[in-house]
């Protein structure tokens, strides 16, 4: 059997090992926050924001940011139906209701027209998820937010390296949240980051992140409110520091992988990939192919071919409204249609050219077989 090609894994070098070892051996006592502070400083400098808080996950960053923004029972939070549940679960935990709207067929991100239609007097926030590194139309969303007095939250878990008209993903909304899960371009194994330019929001989230203990509080064990425990460890932050030193290399490598795919798949009928509109830069976290509805190729057909060649693929997100805990929203026609004919391709940093060629050859063979059959059926 051919060697397994995995869809993703982190890029870990001797630098990450060195920093993690240093944190594990000496990062205690007075030094227990050194790498955390350093990681936060590096990240906010990279992003161009004023405040950053390292967290145990992107979900935790979203949860605290929403809580600090006043999201609570009776409120509604608008988001794309095409999402991972991590975007919706903090809303539910806070007693609010996620409102799922359709996505755009080209970017697979939130449709601003559907967002505006969904706004009600109970709308407390709009969450812009930059799916797979693709960017939401932030100009439109920010304008809607300003028009109705609703904050825009950026779920940039998948968008490190993506840039919108000179501004990095996650830096444009009231706050942004990032993920450093083991699948992400920048990884600490698990972990996240809350970022904002709002000083008051920053202080509220900082308090919530440490059991509700405000940093101005002089008593040692005296929480001012009931908070959360969403802090990142010093060892995780040490790995994050090494990753941030390599961030340009990591993002560049993701883009190289994507463009090798587009070059190898060029000219194939019935196939589209992640977009990169003018004045934007896609971090291409997860290269994705979408098959045209005009051809008889589905996600399942390609998955079967991948399985035969020992290649990992990854499901395109199903609509959240198809999950049993939410009400069905079949009017979100794009969100309901895409998962049947879309798949994420392997894209880890150490993917070898010959491995990538195997993936390309597999996609091409499936499409060629389908297109040949299609041509035979034509009158």
Q: For the chain, which domains are there? A: 14-245 (3.40.640.10), 247-377 (3.90.1150.10)
Query: Do strands 175-179 and 192-196 pair parallel, antiparallel, or not at all (unpaired)?
Result: antiparallel
Q: In what order do the strands lie in the sheet with 152-155?
A: 51-55, 192-196, 175-179, 152-155, 123-129, 76-80, 97-101
Q: For residue 47, what pLDDT is reported?
A: 98
- Mean pLDDT in residue range 217-231: 93
- Exposure string of 211-229, with b = 16+ CB inside 10 Å and e = fewer, is bbbbeeeeeeeeeeeebbe
User: Is the CB of residue 176 less than 8 Å from the CB of residue 156?
Assistant: yes
Residue scoring higher pLDDT (114 or 368): 114
User: Is the CB of residue 212 less than 8 Å from the CB of residue 223?
Assistant: yes
Compute CA distances 161 → 56, 156, 284, whole Å: 21, 10, 8
3-state class percentages of the chain: helix first, strand second, coil last, to nearest 5: 40, 15, 40
Q: Does residue 377 have a pLDDT over 60?
A: no
Residue 379's pLDDT band (cuts 50, 70, 90): very low
Digit-coded pLDDT (tens) for 7-16: 999 999 999 9
Q: For residue 156, what pLDDT is reported?
A: 98
Compute the mean pLDDT over every residue in the chain, rounded to the nearest whole number: 95
Q: For residue 226, what pLDDT is reported?
A: 96
| Concatenated DSSP letters of 73-98 | TT-EEEEESBS-GGGTHHHHHTT-EE
User: Is the CB of residue 243 less than 8 Å from the CB of residue 16?
Assistant: yes
Digit-coded pLDDT (tens) for 265-294: 998 888 999 999 999 999 999 999 999 988
- Mean pLDDT in residue range 153-180: 98
SS3 289: strand
Q: For residue 269, what pLDDT is reported?
A: 86
Q: In what order do the strands lie in the sheet with 314-315?
A: 271-273, 288-291, 342-344, 314-315
């Amino acid at each position: 059997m051919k060697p397994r090609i995995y869809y993703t894994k982190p890029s870990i070098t001797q630098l990450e090992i060195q920093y993690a070892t240093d944190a594990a051996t000496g990062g205690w006592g007075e030094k227990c926050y050194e790498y955390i502070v350093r990681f936060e400083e590096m990240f906010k400098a990279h992003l161009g924001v004023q405040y950053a808080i390292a967290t145990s996950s992107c979900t935790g960053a979203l949860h605290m940011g929403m809580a600090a923004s006043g999201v609570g029972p009776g409120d509604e939070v608008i988001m794309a139906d095409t999402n991972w549940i991590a975007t919706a679960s903090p809303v539910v935990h806070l007693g609010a209701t996620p409102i799922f709207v359709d996505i755009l067929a080209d970017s697979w991100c939130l449709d601003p027209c559907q967002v505006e239609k969904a706004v009600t007097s109970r709308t407390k926030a709009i969450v812009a998820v930059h799916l797979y590194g693709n960017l939401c139309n932030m100009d439109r969303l920010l304008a809607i937010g300003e028009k109705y007095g609703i904050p825009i939250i950026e779920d940039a878990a998948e968008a490190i390296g993506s840039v919108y008209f000179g501004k990095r993903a996650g830096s444009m909304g009231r706050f942004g949240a990032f993920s450093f899960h083991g699948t992400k371009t920048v990884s600490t194994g698990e972990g996240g980051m809350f970022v904002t330019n709002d000083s008051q929001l920053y202080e509220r989230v900082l308090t919530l992140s440490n059991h509700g203990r405000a940093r101005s509080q002089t008593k040692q064990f005296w929480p001012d409110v009931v908070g959360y425990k969403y802090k990142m460890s010093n060892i995780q932050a040490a790995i994050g520091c090494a990753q941030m030193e390599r961030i340009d290399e990591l993002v560049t490598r993701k883009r190289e992988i994507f463009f090798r795919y587009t070059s190898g798949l060029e000219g194939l009928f019935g196939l589209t990939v992640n977009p990169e509109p003018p004045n934007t830069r896609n971090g291409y976290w997860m290269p994705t192919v979408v098959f045209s509805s005009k051809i008889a190729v589905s996600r399942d057909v390609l998955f079967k071919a991948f399985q035969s060649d020992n290649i990992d693929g990854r499901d395109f997100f199903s609509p959240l409204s198809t999950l049993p805990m939410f009400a069905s929203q079949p009017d979100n026609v794009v969100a309901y249609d895409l998962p049947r004919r879309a798949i994420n391709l392997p894209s880890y940093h150490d993917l070898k050219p010959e491995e990538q060629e195997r993936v390309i050859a597999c996609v091409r063979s499936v499409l060629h077989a389908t297109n040949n059959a299609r041509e035979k059926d034509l009158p």
